[in-house]
Homo-oligomer: A and B are copies of this chain.
Amino acid sequence: MQTAEPPISYFMEQAVENRDLISLAAGLVDGDTFPVAEVRAAAEEVLGNPDAARAALQYGTTQGHAPLRDKIVAKVCQLDGIAPADAHLSADDVVVTTGSQQLLYLLGEVLFDPGDIVITEAPSYFVYHGILASLGVRTLTVPMDGDGLITDALDELLARLESAGELERVRLIYTVDYFQNPTGLSLSRRRREHLLDLVRRYSRRQRILILEDAAYRELRYEGDDVPSIKSLDADNRHVVLAMTFSKPLAPGLKTGYALMPRDLVGPVLRFKGNHDFGSNNFAQHLLDRLLANGIYERHVRRLCDAYRAKRDVFVTALRDEFSAASGVRLTRPKGGMYVWLEAPEGFETGMGSPFLKACLREGVLYVPGEFCYVEGGPRPTTQARLCFGVATTDQLREAARRLGRAARSAGLPRLSLPRMARCRG
């Protein structure tokens, strides 16, 4: 049993250990935004009360702290503007996990046999690709556009698989449908409906599931929210909605959660029983306190203000460095933490590329786009994921300048004037 070294490790180590570098690589979140005072107050509330302290420091259940699961259902339904009963959802449908990562892994263990097929967006979240590879799953991909996963292309792929007699191996469609990691793009409302319609339609002899990874949903900086696919799945049959407190609150509390069809809860818990029989209970009790009293919601609003400012600074600085004329295309995400850079044909961004080497010389790091594609499918080598989550606004401006210098030193023509020159002119 082997699993490949995931590239995330390299980048996280660079970010954690090398203090000189400005890292746009690791999907860390901004430590300055952490709700330190709020967590401190929650810890006081829990540990200052003997009964609450005892409960928090004892073993919890494998499924997770029941009051927290109640609040999770209420929170998710509130985001979608629905009543839990209308969506057939209750705390029994929730599993709390060690970050949402653990849910992705557990669900894979439950659902997949080697040779089964999972379909993801291309590009997609590379850490999940690592899980799929380790479980022997065959990963197929569907391209994206500005509205997210192209569902017509999914329809064609499913039809081809059906013709080839392989439809029954399709277990799951994986989508990061809000401010996707790595592109920053979201799935449109119409496509959400189409996606759910497709899995219903192609679930002939076996059920096809949607794994809706909504880790970034709450980090929206502009525009109206769109309903989760889960909320459209009114009989709670086809969608596993995975979310986390890592991005909107603090990754150190390492707590994720999922709402899933009821019949999956038991199998997931049996695997989780083998893994750890329950995630960190103390953290769950702190989160329960933070979700009470609206503290969490207030924090998320502040967080969005902070990240919006970063996004604006970063996107502006990047546009100063890379004008349309340079041939570089950049997304302007409405939420989340990622800008996706597409360089012109022939301008390589991969591990051994002159651009990446120049970036390391200049002191800036990104994730080469090719890591975000599965092996075997199309794998462009001219893209980059730029995370603006962890750097300060000053660092983001500087990072954009370093990217620009590195690009030029690696041969990208200087077709835009830097902002200072324009201001002087």
Contact = CB atoms under 8 A, between A and B. Distances in A.
Contact of A109 (B1, B36, B131): B1
A271 interface: yes
A282 B98 CA distance: 12
Interface stretch (A69-77, A117-125, A192-200, A249-257): A249-257
B276 A4 contact: no
Q: Copies of this chain, how many?
A: 2
Given A40-B48, A54-B31, A110 B6 contact: no
A184 interface: no
A312 to B, nearest CB: 24
A409 interface: no
Given A47-B39, A110-B1, A252 B271 contact: no
A252 B1 contact: no
A227 interface: no
B8 A251 contact: no
Given A32-B54, A252-B280, A281-B251, A61 B16 contact: yes
A302 to B, nearest CB: 15
A129 to B, nearest CB: 10
B5 A270 contact: yes
Interface in A47-63: 47-48, 50, 53-62
8 contacts: A6-B274, A6-B277, A39-B47, A97-B276, A105-B275, A252-B282, A253-B280, A280-B283
Given A6-B274, A31-B57, A282-B283, 9 more contacts: A5-B273, A8-B277, A12-B61, A16-B61, A34-B53, A34-B54, A60-B252, A127-B277, A254-B282
